[in-house]
Structure 1
Amino acid sequence: MNETEMVKALAALAQETRLKLFRLLVVAGKTGLTPGSMSETLEVSTTALSFHLKELHFAGLVTSERHGRYIIYRAELVKMNALLAFLTAECCQGEGCADLNVSACVNG
């Protein structure tokens, strides 16, 4: 991912509903979720959900696949990991990182 793609991804996640939606899809993993189940879980209207899914899709953070009558959405974990790697690539600028795990480095 280049910096422009990183900015799109971060901008998409910089909204409360989209962040909750993305995290919900991360938890669902490869199974994914239908819009109906996401709407119910997050208590968001289907219209609002559609808008937020479109933004996450544009940023490359979710994929969709038709499965019969349903559309299954999944978090794009490769992009998520690329984003995390980009954000932590120069953690501590090499100083002391050997003693830290990634979560410690990210959380300070």
Structure 2
Amino acid sequence: MEADAIIRALGALAQEHRLSAYRLLVQAGTDGMPAGVLAEAVGAPASSMSFHLAQLANAGLVTSRRESRSIIYSANYGTMNALMGYLSENCCGGVHCAEPVRCEA
């Protein structure tokens, strides 16, 4: 990942409702969750949640799809794994420490 993408992703996660929503989406797996359910779960108004989800999508952390009248959001595991890989790239002082853990959805 390029530095600007890392900064955008970390910036998107640096807000309480966005971080909470993202964690719920990671837990939900590929099924994802509707925006309204996310808003209720994190205690945010639906209009605010739309803004927060747009920020996460802009950072590449979530994807969305339409199902009937609902928009379903899912965590983008590729971006999450790339971000975690970047953050832990030299975790053992440059010495190979362990196999990286990758989330697969």
Same fold per TM (> 0.5)?
Answer: yes
Q: SS state of the match for residue 72, structure 2?
A: strand
Letter of the 2:2 partner, please give it. N
CA distance in structure 1 between the partners assigned to 2:19 and 2:46 by the alignment? 16
Q: Identify the residue that residue 64 of structure 2 maps to in structure 1.
A: 64
Give % identity.
44
Q: Identify the residue that residue 94 of structure 1 maps to in structure 2.
A: 94
CA distance in structure 2 between the partners assigned to 1:43 and 1:52 by the alignment? 13
Q: Which has the larger radius of gyration?
A: 1
Matched, 1:74 2:74: yes
CA distance in structure 1 between the partners assigned to 2:91 and 2:49 by the alignment? 35
With normalisation by structure 1, the TM-score equals 0.86
Runs of 5+ in structure 1 lacking a partner?
104-108
How many aligned positions are there? 101
Q: Identify the residue that residue 42 of structure 1 maps to in structure 2.
A: 42
CA distance in structure 2 between the partners assigned to 1:102 and 1:81 by the alignment? 9
Q: SS state of the match for residue 74, structure 2?
A: strand
More helix per residue: 1
Q: Identify the residue that residue 3 of structure 2 maps to in structure 1.
A: 3
Coordinate RMSD, CA, aligned:
1.7
CA distance in structure 2 between the partners assigned to 1:17 and 1:41 by the alignment? 10
